[in-house]
Structure 1
Amino acid sequence: MSVDIPQTNFPRVVIIGGGFGGIQVAKKLKNKEVQVIMIDRHNYHTFQPLLYQVATGGLEPDSIAHPLRKIFKNQKNFVFRVAEALKVEAEQNVLVTNIGNIQYDYLVIATGSDSNYFGSKELESHTMPMKTIPEALDMRSMVLQNLESALLTDSLNEQEAYMNFVVIGGGPTGVETAGALAELKNHVLPHDYPELDIRRMQINLIEGGDRLLGAMSEQASAKSEKFLKQMGVSVRTKERVLGYDGNVIKLSSGKELNSKIVIWSAGVKGVTLPGINNNVIVPGNRFKVNTFNQIEGYDNIFAIGDVAAMITDDYPKGHPGVAPAAIQQGQLLAKNLVQKINDIPMEPFNYFDKGSMATVGRNRAVVDMGFVRFQGTFAWFVWMFVHLMTLVGFRNRVVVFVNWVWSYFSYDRGTRLIIRRFEREADKKLDPVEV
């Protein structure tokens, strides 16, 4: 069965994924003599760098999401379908989806990344990931549910387990999540839960490497750790998580931590598709691509963003899985597709690294921009400005800015709502407690 899509005499470019890269390809093909088909599991684009703020009650989900149809409402050569890509039949130039088959002339895989548990089914079952808006909402519910549960138990050990929040992974997401939880503890929760001794709430950040923010400078790493410790976060570096059964975390040092909520931000992997030669999948579950973002061995199939690994002398492991890399690849790929269609040589991709940054909390951030490195309040304002400008949609920028201003002056987070109750698989087997 084929998907009902308007027919055209123009070449058809099918884009899988409405993330940063996919959006740029589609935008740059506006008014070109091609038909652009985009599919995504959701009908919206997610601004993933701010998911942790949704998870910790700082923002509502609709402030970091934007309808894909709205982005392209004035683009006449654009067609969108909510669908999930299942596999590629490369010899027939067919993409198989859950709503039917889509014929393509050029295929762009911009499927992004997912949480990487490195083969541990136990960690996958019991920890909280944070790669999508539903996952962030689940985490927000779990954080608040744990505090409500802490009020209902007479056991101090069980209460501490409910109030021991553990973040695994010391990259930007882990650092920012731990910092946001610390701000909740220091400024919000004592007023919301006066019956609880919030001082006994623990926030543990566990990193397997020897420092936080391993991709950034040592100066940024040291400063971020200092900021977190000032906020009351227990930072544990050179510690690997061996297992977690939903109640106890086992660490490589032999230490065990009792916790009812563990947040996983320790690794990502590309979301690849069946049908592409497995020999071109490199570590990190990414497609190996050439400098034109063509998947090796395929002339008309491209990959960009987190799912693409362009191996170069400067980037022997591929480009970093960040929004600027996906945006730049998407912009150039759109240009190259037009040139390829018109038999004009394509241009190789050169990544312009604009720098890295991470926020720890109010007036605390670290920024690396080449040889220029700074931390503290100014870095925090730079972080806010960059993220506001990168958000899709003017309304979203205004809403996020107003929320940030309100939080800055009031020390409050206004979206502490349990919209839907989240249950871990381990808890579903337990009988409900009568109160």
Structure 2
Amino acid sequence: MTEMPHVVVVGAGFAGVAVTRELAKRGFRVTVVDRHPYNTFQPLLYQVATGGLNAGDVTYSLRFLSAKNKANFRRTKVVGIDHDHNEVICDDGVRIPYDYLVLGTGITTNHFGIPGAAEYTMSMYTRAEALKVRDTIFGGLENIAGTSHPGTGGFTVVVVGGGPTGVEMAGSLAELKDSAIPTTYPELDPKKVHVVLVEMANALLLPFDEKLQRYTLSELVKRGVDVRLRTALSEVHPDHVVFKDGNRLDVDLVIWAAGVSGSKELNDWGVPIGRGGRIEVGTDCRVKGFDNVFAIGDVALITENPLPQLAQPAIQEGKFVARQIGRLVNGEDTEEFHYFDKGTMATIGNRAAVLQLPNGFKMTGTFAWLGWIVLHIAYLLGGRNRVQTLVNLAARYATWPRRAGAIVGDVNETPQQAKVKASKKKEQLSQRS
């Protein structure tokens, strides 16, 4: 028998996992390459960042996943592609040969060149970033609670971006402020903890129906979030932000959920880069200019029909590309990808969410929130992760708000605290000299 072609899949997010599973079913030799040893379920990272879930609840071993699908796994960072010799170049010098290459590397934060944004804000697109946000939030609260006059200190978190990630984060922080702080930090005044959501457009959740946008705004305001629409930042500093209208706001932490882009490293891979730093592909998801290289998920830009950077398009593209590689091996032409919209959801907080289906059906409130929970648990990888997530979310919400505890870790300094500490140290050194 002729040996099946070797497919290298770079990136193991929603798209990478989907294409790997489908290729394995078809008998291809598959090597999965990722710089992390685990897959991350990004839609629930905001729960990790606010102490609702453990990081292990939303991560899954790629070695186990690969073994289950009879694929190989290599944990390494890709630094280039040798298109002439069909090889993926890794940072350890190893070159991985391929017959077909699938790029599903996902996206990273886009700070739009705003001064100080990259240095003094935090994002939540990886497990490590979510944990850093969590430990910084609770570290800031611990710092205030540990002072001689805890009632006098304030804590302000600014969330930049009114899309699903920003809304979910702001809503979860508001819950933390109103329910967890009075229980866990009785010495702190919840009124001195401020959550500010900044969005440059005139509405939140722009892809959603106007009715759902108004509901989202109303729910966040009801939960105590200071929502500022038609507002943009011009500068970010360790202890304050400056808006484009010239106003200044003192802050302890800025969480960036305003935009995404493909990694700058893609520019060194010899593939065409389009809007948003994404790889340009045709309607069959093949990278333009290449016959055996595909790009899928958030990093791929179908120039004729750009799709939203969500889980469903990524999963569907992954399955589709596996079929197209099968067609190419059989000497058939590739097909055109058609996205099947299954609807969009976003959660705002306890018993508050929005659901929108392509047929016009809309839902808000408790049932939408329960549907959001069930759907996200169902899409987690691994039975243990599903059970652990269900248990942790149930523990958080079943007795709400009487026992709204939170999972915590180490204590990190906020940028504002780090600046104060550095100033004090500099002052002490000056006095000694």
TM-score by length of 1: 0.91
CA distance in 2: counterparts of 1:59 and 1:103, whole angstroms = 39
Q: For the residues of structure 2 that align with 1:309 and 1:34, how far apart are their CA atoms? A: 26
| Distance (whole Å) between structure 2 residues aligned to residue 423 and residue 365 of structure 1 | 30
In 2, Cα distance between the equivalents of 1:156 and 1:22?
Answer: 48
Asked whether the equivalents of residues 150 and 187 of structure 2 are also in contact (C-alpha less than 8 Å), the reply is no
Tell me the SS of whatever aligns to 1:257. Answer: strand
Could you tell me which residue of structure 2 aligns to residue 235 of structure 1? Answer: 227
- 1:351 corresponds in structure 2 to 339
Show structure 1 runs of 5+ residues with no match: 1-7
Is 2:403 the counterpart of 1:403? Answer: no
Q: How far apart are the structure 2 equivalents of 1:420 and 1:183?
A: 20
Maintained 8 Å contact 1:294/1:301: yes
C-alpha distance after superposition, 1:356-377 (max 9, x if no partner):
1111111100111120111111
Match for 2:409 among 412, 415, 418? Answer: 418
CA distance in 1, matches of 2:72, 2:404: 38
Q: Secondary structure at the match of 2:279?
A: strand
1:287 is the counterpart of 2:283: no
CA contact (8 A) 1:144 1:416 kept: no
Shift of 1:68: 1.2
TM-score normalized by the length of structure 2: 0.92
Taking a change above 3 Å as real, the CA distance of residues 157 and 116 of structure 1, as seen in their structure-2 partners, is: farther
SS of residue in 1 equivalent to 2:48? helix
Q: Name 2:173's counterpart in structure 1.
A: 181
247-256 or 150-159: which moved more? 150-159
- Consecutive unaligned residues of structure 2, counting only runs of 5 or more, are 429-433
The number of equivalent residue pairs is 419
- 1:321 aligns with 309
Give the structure 2 partner of residue 3 of structure 1.
none
- Aligned partner of 1:340 among 307, 328, 339: 328
Task: Please report how far the alpha carbon of residue 414 of structure 1 lies from its aligned counterpart in structure 2 after TM superposition.
Answer: 4.3
- Whether contact under 8 Å (1:63, 1:396) holds in the other structure is yes
For 1:175 and 1:423, the matched residues in 2 are separated by: 22
Q: What is the Cα deviation at residue 203 of structure 1?
A: 0.6
Aligned pair partner of 2:164 in 168, 172, 177? 172
Q: Deviations over 1:207-246 (max 9, x none)?
A: 0111000121111111100000010101000000111111
Match of 1:86 among 68, 73, 79: 79
One of 8, 18, 33 as aligned partner of 2:12: 18
Q: Deviations over 1:377-397 (max 9, x none)?
A: 111111111111111111111
Maintained 8 Å contact 1:359/1:383? yes
Task: State the secondary structure of the residue aligned to 1:50.
Answer: helix
2:297 matches 1:308: no
**What is the one-letter code of the residue matched to 1:404?**
L
**Cα offset, 1:176, TM superposition:** 0.3
Matched, 1:215 2:195: no
Equivalent pair of 1:60/1:415 in contact (CA under 8 Å): no
| Aligned residue type for 2:318 | G
Q: Counterpart in 2 of 1:368?
A: 356
1:23: Cα distance to partner? Answer: 0.7
Per-residue CA deviations over 1:32-83 (Å, capped at 9, x if unaligned) read 342101111111110000000000000000001111122232333x100100
Which of these residues, 369, 373, 386, is aligned with residue 384 of structure 1?
373
Letter in 1 for 2:407: R
Moved more, 118-127 or 284-293: 118-127
